[in-house]
Amino acid sequence: MDYRRTYRSAAIAFADLVSRIPPDRLDGPGLGGWTLRDLLGHTVSSALRQVPEVLGRQAPMLMVPGPEYYFAAVRRAPAAEVAAARTASATDARDTGKALGERPADAVSGFVGQATGALASASDDDLVATPVGGMRVADWLPTRTFELVVHGTDAAVAAGVPISLDQDTLAESAALAARVAVAVGDGAALLRALTGRGTLPSGFTIL
């Protein structure tokens, strides 16, 4: 699959979704303790706004050899670091959500343009500095597509508005989720559940 095309496709699908969310839904429930506006803010921050920033930071060496290891590294981080990161993420989600203003679709479209523009100037093998270490652009971008797909579907459910994701984009993110499960030791359990040979425990997540 072309990771550039799937990223652009996911970004466009997310922007289209935001353009169709009724304004009176924005301050309603989103995900967990977040409002829908907070959820949109988190998605913009994690999957769009940071793309030009990360692509502009060169890493001295390769530390993370694939997108699944990005999420595996986050999951294996010390509990105190994870708690601090979640607190910072929640604050950023609220702040970014507020900054989207009364016309969030316009703001999101601007972020999509900036992110895809920065991606067009990056090479596949460029090493960039991510929160978990140096990664190739071709390995890091699928983690941002994953954020768009997962949180795009979260937002669609919260808003009661469908999101249009193409098959390649969904397939890339679903395959990445399976590879993360393998990387963290849950691959066999996931495979058995997907083939009707077992069930996953309540609250199971790869993240």
Encode the chain (207 residues) as per-residue pLDDT tens digits. Answer: 799 999 999 999 999 999 999 999 999 999 999 999 999 999 999 999 999 999 999 999 999 999 999 999 988 888 888 788 888 988 999 999 999 999 999 999 999 999 999 999 999 999 999 999 999 999 999 999 999 999 999 999 999 999 999 999 999 999 999 999 999 999 999 999 999 999 999 999 998
CA 71, CA 17: separation in Å to the nearest integer? 26
- Of the options 3.40.920.10, 1.10.3720.10, 1.20.120.450, 3.40.50.150, the CATH number for the domain spanning 3-194: 1.20.120.450
Q: What angle do CA 55, 71, 44 make, to 5 degrees?
A: 50
* Entry pTM: 0.95
Residue 80 pLDDT = 85
Phi, psi at 58, each rounded to 5°: -75, 140
